[in-house]
Structure 1
């Protein structure tokens, strides 16, 4: 992983939590593969994934960012995310004990500035109806987030319940 840390202070990095920093690095990396990413995406009520990414061929990846062993151990919902993506990955930093992660999932090493894929995730194709629903929700959520930058009342109006 190339260190692309800025030479000037990074206000986001100074105020973000560890998982948010990993997510930013993952999104930067996935953009190099022409993926569009949304952080903290809710595929359905009760589930919130750290990164949902849609690739150039419509493929859907989920990346869960774990900042520590305790963070991983306390995640009891991750297997419920598998039915919402074609591939599932963990993103961790270089100090994370990767031997505790399931072997049948992908592995990404990340920091706030970039990432490197160490293990590809097995592919389990979504059915067409689920894929269409996720694409539609992804597009609508992304558009609402973009609109909320211009009109903060949009963010309040469409906040997840």
Structure 2
């Protein structure tokens, strides 16, 4: 392997680790704040949210994890997540400059051990019918995943 291809392979291998670390830290932060959290949740529009967090009052947050600027620039679907949550956030590594991320989205800085909220997201309340549909989706997905873990049910998502 040439030195250039070794650097490319190294950067490619590091990205999943960075994404995993940011996801873990953001999830731990949300849980510490009292949210119930589901990872990799399919949405009705065919997208898949990295994290969906449910507060005790029924408020839904979606957190999109971005491990690099290239990851952010390549993803054109994140605006479609906003229609399924009350608040939308990006979670990024602590060493990434937050300036390029849209100011109308919340921002969470995270590593594998935890996170902190840098910027709160504006509230765009879901319509009652959409909220009900998302709460049912959240509950169903959580129940299916619980059964898969507890009973080895291979039919669960």
Q: Deviations over 1:109-148 (max 9, x none)?
A: 0011110001000000000000011101101101111110
Deviation at residue 59 of structure 1 after TM alignment: 0.3
What SS does the aligned partner of 1:98 have?
A: coil
Q: Deviations over 1:27-47 (max 9, x none)?
A: 111112210000101122520
Unaligned ranges ≥5, structure 1 = 1-15
What SS does the aligned partner of 1:19 have?
A: helix
Structure with the greater alpha carbon radius of gyration: 2
Aligned residue in 1 for 2:155? 157
C-alpha distance in structure 1 between counterparts of 2:110 and 2:150, whole Å: 31
- Which stretches of structure 1, 4 residues or more, deviate above 6 A after TM superposition? none
Deviation at residue 94 of structure 1 after TM alignment: 1.6
Aligned residue in 1 for 2:13? none
Residues 1:96 and 2:104 are matched in the alignment: no
Check whether the contact 1:69–1:97 (CA below 8 A) recurs between aligned residues. no
- Which residues in structure 2 correspond to 1:50-61 (within 5 Å)? 50-61=50-61
Check whether the contact 2:147–2:156 (CA below 8 A) recurs between aligned residues. no
What SS does the aligned partner of 2:99 have?
A: helix
C-alpha distance in structure 2 between counterparts of 1:34 and 1:54, whole Å: 9
Number of residue pairs the alignment of both structures matches: 142
Aligned residue in 1 for 2:43? 43
RMSD value, Cα: 1.3
Instruction: Provide TM-score, normalisation by structure 2.
Output: 0.86
**Which of 121-130 and 40-49 deviates more?**
40-49
C-alpha distance in structure 2 between counterparts of 1:72 and 1:147, whole Å: 34
Check whether the contact 2:148–2:155 (CA below 8 A) recurs between aligned residues. no
C-alpha distance in structure 2 between counterparts of 1:97 and 1:74, whole Å: 17
Check whether the contact 1:108–1:118 (CA below 8 A) recurs between aligned residues. yes
- Which residues in structure 2 correspond to 1:128-147 (within 5 Å)? 128-147=128-147
Instruction: Provide TM-score, normalisation by structure 1.
Output: 0.84
Deviation at residue 19 of structure 1 after TM alignment: 1.6
